[in-house]
Amino acid sequence: MNDSIKLGLRLVGAVAVLLGGSVHLQQWLTVFRDLDIGPLFLLNVVASVVVGIALLAFDSRLAALGGVLVSVGSLVALYASRTVGVAGFEATGYELAEVEAIVVEGVALVALGAYLLVARRPVADSQVGAGAIA
């Protein structure tokens, strides 16, 4: 049962990370290609593809952590672009693409965070020392 839960969470996380990358690719192609912030959108696309593929291919806590980092980085950058600016770019409000990114990055965080909790290795009885609280 634990393995099927892990697989489901990992697949949901992978799809969400890949969708986040696709939102960034669409935005790069249509809006940010010629702006100073443009390369950061492409970096997000590459990171999302690498992490998404790793999540699909491997039952790996490292890949899940990578997905969490990509999603947190995306959300922090989006917030920063609305407050202090990022790479000389400042924006106000939220268009559909920003809402889509927030939703898929949030789904990735929830799924991969849950995966990391489920994937924790239980402490074996032989590892619990005398007098330890188990």
Question: How many residues are present in the chain?
Answer: 134
Question: Hey, which residues does 111 pair with through a beta bridge?
Answer: none
Q: What pLDDT sits at residue 91?
A: 85
- The whole-angstrom separation of Cα 7 and Cα 13 is 10
pLDDT tens digits for 90-124?
888 889 999 999 999 999 999 999 999 999 876 55
Q: Answer whether 65's CB lies under 8 Å from 51's CB.
A: no
Q: What pLDDT sits at residue 124?
A: 53
Instruction: Record the tokens describing residue 129, joined without a space.
Output: 């020392």
pLDDT band at 75 (very low <50, low <70, confident <90, very high): very high
